[in-house]
Amino acid sequence: MRKRKNRIAKILRILLITAGSVFIALCLLALTTLPFWAYYSLGTGNSKITRPPVTIVLLSGMGMPSADGLLRSYYTSKLAIANPTAKVIIVIPGNLSDSASDPIRFASELVLRGVNKQAIAFENEGRNTREQALKMAQKIPTQLNQPVTLITSPDQMRRAILAFRKCGFTDISGLPTFDNSLLADLTFADSALKGNKLAPPIGKNLQMRYQFWNHLRYEVIVIREYFALGYYKLRGWI
C-alpha cells in the first residue's frame, strides 16, 4: 500500500512539475512576438486572393451581435461591395423563418453595410467546418473550379481552406478577419494620476499592460487550433 502511495505521489509530483514548467514557458513565450506570428500564419497561409471571387462564403463563428460576428460582417461587406457581381452565401446554422436567428441577423447586418440583398443566399445546415464544406460542395457544384473566397477568423482560416479543398474546391482563397489595434498613444505619466506609490509604475509599459496578455490569448487560440487541425487530419477531412 505504501509503495502504491509513493508511486502515486511521484506521478503527481512529475505532473505538477511538468505543468508548472509548461506554464512558465508559455509566460516567457508571451513576452516575445512568436505567439502573434503563429496566429498570423494560421490566417494568411494558403489564403491569398488571386482572382475576384464569384462566390463569397461567410463562415459561422459566434452569433450576432458579437465582436467576431461584426468583424466577419465588416470584411464580407467590404469584399462584396468591391465585387458587386459575386454571390454572398451566409453559412451559419439557424432557422431562416425566424427574424431573430443568427443567419437572418447576419444578412441584415450585411444589407445595413451596403450589400445587395438579392446577392445574399444561405446554407444553414452545416454545424462544423467539415459539414459546411460538404454542404457548400453540394449547393454550388458548378463553382468547384471557380474562385471562391472564405470569410472567417484568422485561426480557422487554414483549416477551412484545407477542408474546402478536400471537398473539391480548386480555386479557394480566404480573407481572415484580423482586428486592428488602437492607433492612439496609450502611455501615460503615472505621477500625473497620483494614487498609491506602492504599486510599480506601468504607464510607459505597454507590453505588460496589453501585449503580454494578448499573446497569452494567442497561445491558447493557436494551441487549440493545432489540436483541431490534427483531429481533422486524423479523420481525413483535410
156-165 tens-digit pLDDT = 999 999 999 9
Whether residue 110 is contained in a domain is answered as yes
Q: What CATH number corresponds to the domain at position 51?
A: 3.40.50.620
Q: What is the pLDDT of residues 111-154, one digit of tens each?
A: 999 999 999 999 999 899 999 999 999 999 999 999 999 999 99
Which residue segment(s) compose the domain that 100 sits in? Answer: 46-176
Question: How many Å is the maximal CA-CA distance in the chain?
Answer: 75
Lowest mean pLDDT across 18-22, 63-67, 84-88, 194-198: 194-198
Q: What are phi and psi of 135, to 5 degrees?
A: -65, -40
Question: Considering the domain boundaries, does residue 93 fall inside one?
Answer: yes
**How many Cβ atoms are within 10 Å of 164's Cβ, its own excluded?**
27
Nearest Cα neighbor of 53 from 75, 77, 84 is 84
Determine, yes or no, domain membership for 21: no
CB 152 within 8 A of CB 61: yes
Q: Is residue 191 part of a domain?
A: no
Check whether 69 has a pLDDT greater than 70. yes
Domain count, the chain: 1
Q: Establish if 71 belongs to a structural domain.
A: yes
Q: Is residue 197 one of the residues assigned to a domain?
A: no
Query: Quick check: is 16 in a domain?
Result: no
- The arrangement of strands across the sheet holding 55-59 comes to 120-123, 87-91, 55-59, 148-152, 172-176
pLDDT for 188 beyond 70 = no
| Helix 102-112 and helix 67-82, axial crossing angle in degrees, nearest 10 | 50
116 occurs within a structural domain: yes
Note the pLDDT tens digit of each residue in 194-206. 777 777 777 776 7
Report pTM. Answer: 0.88
| Cell numbers linked to 184 | 492612439
